[in-house]
Structure 1
Amino acid sequence: ARSIGDSGQGGQVLLSAQAWARAQLNAQNLDVSPIHMGTYRLPNEETVQFVQVLPTALSSKREFSKQSFRKCEQVMPGYYDAPQASSEIFVGFVLISMREELMLYEDIAQEVFSIFQTVLLGDLTKHNGYLCQEEEGTFMVVFSELESAVAFSTEFHASLLSCHWPESLAQTPSSDGLQARIGLFSGVPVEKRPHNTSGRADYFGPVLNRAARMAYAAHSGRTLIPHYLVERFGSELQEKYVLQSVGQHAFKGIDTLFDVDDIALSQTQAPPILSTVTLERFNALLLEGMKGGGPS
């Protein structure tokens, strides 16, 4: 605790993420707002996630409250390092494949989910990404550069394949190791603000829903990306990745058709994507609507 206190500047209320979580459990109606400041290495080599706590009355001044920390080194980004909402961002949703089936093996699940998140954070840091939130096996990540987003979303699959998984996983449907389903999309968010409980950067706008739909349409071990992003690849990226068109699709809650590509580091046959409306079905529904009929 003293090391954390020594890292802050005058006037800062600085907690570890664990201490902040306990404070929320033990106190009702806290009139404060958290800001996730990132992960730091302390002089004793311990790594700690810092959360700065501001009185709610001052939370509107959060954009001006960042200060450098003393006697420690930042190793993972925080709220202020996450992409700004004023320009295009690249959003990825990462889903743990077969999570519900694994939850039947509670002790094993907790261990392997922790390994999954550790590998994810390592690859995110390598590619300058930021973890916004994790909820029930769904991770939302953001990048400021297309190349970084694509590199993470393809290399993460390889990292999972090369990971050393516990022998107990052989008892489960994921006996060969955990896999991920990933979807990417880009856009300018409507807003960025700290999450009410974690203090991590939270974004709002249609780009989030579209990235999530891409992920839920992906198979285990696959990444889906809209073709308009592929068209922005230079020759180097075109040569680095294996790109396969999986057709033109509409997604639930989105009234636009998208050309979708499967992107990978190696040549494997891309399976048909899940949970979408094909072009033919989209046109049929559109025609029914023009005739005054409802969708079947």
Structure 2
Amino acid sequence: MNRRQILGCGAGMAALIIAGPVLAATAPDAGRFTVETRGQGPDVILIPGLSSSRAIWEPTAKALAGRYRVHLVQVAGFAGAPVAGNASGPVVAGVAEGLASYIQAKGLKAPAVIGHSMGGSIGMELAARHPERVGRLMVVDMFPKLAVAFFGPTVTPEQIVKNAAMIRDGMVNTPADQAAVQQRQTIAGMVKTESAREAITQHALASDRDVSARAMEELLLTDLTPELGKITAPTTVLHAFDKAGPFPAATVDGWYAGAYAPLKGARLVRIDDTAHFIMVDQPDRFQAEVEAFLKG
């Protein structure tokens, strides 16, 4: 499995369907996202990835709700949620700015932020551009410059723009039946847990194509490397490794170490025997890392 399969593309980054109670909801930032809150205690914001549902965080939320106040983000247009404010404009940066406003409006005191995949990019943007509003940051299996993972380290800016547009157009224009086949193939490389794949596929297919495509293009065009030095929050980066893949662990470790070198003091943790959805493939190990991260 190569890095493109691990990180996924298109609407394939969708979430495991797990039901959970809604204790409160808000719709900030002109409807770019909604938030469910539950529990009491220090604040933890959980951000899902591209085309994902906040339900991917349900096991994490249940484990934390007795000791923390958990804020589960749902990006508008993903996993069947109404498109709302994401009908136009930047999705990733829009959600990041909206979360900065949400933190201020709700009076949250330096919340912990955990983001998976695209959610990790949102977390990095939030922590870099509003460092005073993030207490600590966890990025789950995401690079600060996704284009390198997709197109290789020698890709030029012009090639990135061209390739990102091609991916965007493909996501929008692929016939529905073909898109469903592609989703299943993509997700097979993103989730080792076979029983979770169909539910993840259905959330991907329920996502608005235009919103997902524009968000994907935005991710590929964004390089957060120059902004990493602005992040002051203690940061943990979890990354997936599958020994069945073509690269040894040391090589994968090196990719992440190089990518996050500008973020001084970042804790990089490899999670073995997992694909991109670490919380699905290795739930116990993932939760242990979350607990260690929150305790500091």
Both proteins in one fold, TM over 0.5: no
Higher relative contact order (CA 8 A, sep 6+): 2
- TM-score band, normalised by shorter chain: under 0.3
Identify, as 1 or 2, the structure richer in helix: 2
Identify, as 1 or 2, the structure richer in strand: 1
Asked which structure has the greater CA Rg, the reply is 1
Q: TM-score, normalised by structure 2?
A: 0.24
